[in-house]
Structure 1
Amino acid sequence: MMVFLVILVVSGALIVGALWGAYGSLSEWVQGNLLAIAGGALMLSVALQMLEPAVNHSGLLATITFTLLGAAVFTGTDYLIDEKMQSGGGGGLLAAVTLDGVPENLALGVSLIGGNVMQVAALAGSILLSNLPEAAGGAKQMKEDGNSNKKIIMIWIGAAVLLSVAAIAGNQLLRDVPKSTLSLIDCFAAGAVIASLATEIFPDAFKKGNHWAGISTAIGLILALGLNQLGG
């Protein structure tokens, strides 16, 4: 029961965020600072929950290799979306959610196996902090690009279903996988997160939230730090 409840909350944040962005009143300033909060939370998540454990379990060389691979895959996909497919920033944020979200939710599913409530809360909370504003910002930008609300919501529902499947797969299929292998999944996710922060999240956050985005980034990091301490 706990497995499906956590997955529902984390993935449901994408749908709630998309509804907010498509139908709600979301000023550019609010949108930018929400993205900055998400970015701050993701910064800490990458360092403490993905890369640091990966070095211990898989070694420095493997950590570097798979982190660079994740960054390269995200950057290449984001380039195709923005430059070749002529998609607006909403498509880039959708790519950010899915490319780093699939490995993250695999890891979330694995963490649910152990049943440590505090560790699950820490990881799920960090993912939730990033999913909600990214979906809201992405849906808002998709709407500005001329997409219908129905199309936008269906796209983000599809993303939520994909991430839910990833979490369930992590919980059911990766129970006996060595930690060294799971760490490589985390490294790939970390690389995608880092690339998305540099190319999508922080530039857009500063553009819309102005210098307040710096403070919001710190707030996001502090919130994630508190969640990480719960899981410590």
Structure 2
Amino acid sequence: MTTSIVVFVVSAALIAGALWGIYGSLTKKTEGFLVALAGGALLVSALLELINPALENNSVYITLAVVFIGATTFTGLDYLVKKKWGNNSGGGLLAAITLDGIPENLALGVALIGAGPLSVAALSGSILLSNLPEAAGGAKEMSENHSKKKVLLLWIATAAILAMAALVGHFLLSDVKQEYLNYIKSFAGGAVVASLALEVFPKSFKKDKYWTGIATTIGLILALFLNSLGE
């Protein structure tokens, strides 16, 4: 039951964010602030939750290579998305959420096995904190160039895919060696780093200028607090 609730909440954050971005009132400054807030949370997630466990327990060289592969893969897909939808379509954020979200949610599903309440809160809270504003910003930009209904359905489909990834991780990967799970998370970490550099922070600074630094720090502090609950 706990797993189903967490998966629902984390996935629903994408849909709620998309609804807010498409139909709600979201100024450019607010959008930039929220995206930077998500970026700060993702910094913590990438380093502490995704990459660091592999550095501590797996081969350092293989881990760093997998991180690089994750970043390269995201960069390539981001380029293709922009070629199809344009630089300001919001598709880059959708690619970011999907590419780093699938391995991230696989890991979330595995981590929920036998996890205590505080660990569950830390894991799901960090992902929710980044999903909501990213979805709002990405959906808003996509709706400016595409049908609102089509954009909403696309984000709902993305939420369903990520929910499925978490359930697969929980029920089918419970017996997979931790070493391999760490590499999956490292790939996600590399994708997150690339998405921050290419999509999140440039987009936020363009819309909200120097408040980006404050928002990023707030997101980082919130994610660090959630992470400390799980220790």
How would you bin the TM-score normalised by the shorter chain? over 0.9
How many residues end up aligned between the 2 structures? 231
Residues of 1 paired with 2:210 and 2:158: CA distance?
31
Partner of 2:21: 21
2:171 match: secondary structure: helix
Contact 2:85 2:91 in 1 (8 A): no
Question: Which one-letter code corresponds to 2:40 in the other structure?
Answer: G
The structural deviation recorded for 1:84 is 4.8
Q: Which runs of 5 or more residues in structure 2 are unaligned?
A: none
The structural deviation recorded for 1:88 is 3.3
- Corresponding position: 1:49 with 2:49: yes
- Corresponding position: 1:39 with 2:30: no
Residues of 1 paired with 2:10 and 2:106: CA distance?
13
Q: Which runs of 5 or more residues in structure 1 are unaligned?
A: none
2:25 match: secondary structure: coil
Partner of 2:154: 155
Partner of 2:168: 169
**Structure 1: 4+ residue segments shifted above 6 A:** none
Q: Deviations over 1:48-103 (max 9, x none)?
A: 11111111221211110110111011000000111255363410000000000001
Taking structure 1 as the reference length, the TM-score comes to 0.97
Residues of 2 paired with 1:209 and 1:128: CA distance?
22
Partner of 1:187: 186
- Corresponding position: 1:222 with 2:221: yes
What percentage of aligned pairs have identical amino acids?
A: 56
Partner of 1:129: 129
Residues of 2 paired with 1:45 and 1:155: CA distance?
25
Q: Deviations over 1:177-220 (max 9, x none)?
A: 11111000000000000000000000000001110010000000
Residues of 1 paired with 2:47 and 2:124: CA distance?
16
The two structures, once aligned, show a CA RMSD in angstroms of: 1.0
Contact 1:100 1:192 in 2 (8 A): yes
Q: Residue 194 and residue 212 in structure 1: after superposition, are their counterparts in 2 closer, same or farther (change >3 A)? A: same
Contact 1:57 1:179 in 2 (8 A): no
The structural deviation recorded for 1:119 is 1.3
Partner of 1:212: 211
Partner of 1:65: 65
Partner of 1:144: 144
1:176 match: secondary structure: coil
Contact 2:100 2:192 in 1 (8 A): yes
Contact 1:70 1:192 in 2 (8 A): yes
Question: Which one-letter code corresponds to 2:162 in the other structure?
Answer: L
Partner of 1:111: 111
Question: Which one-letter code corresponds to 1:226 in the other structure?
Answer: F
Partner of 1:203: 202
- Corresponding position: 1:74 with 2:77: no
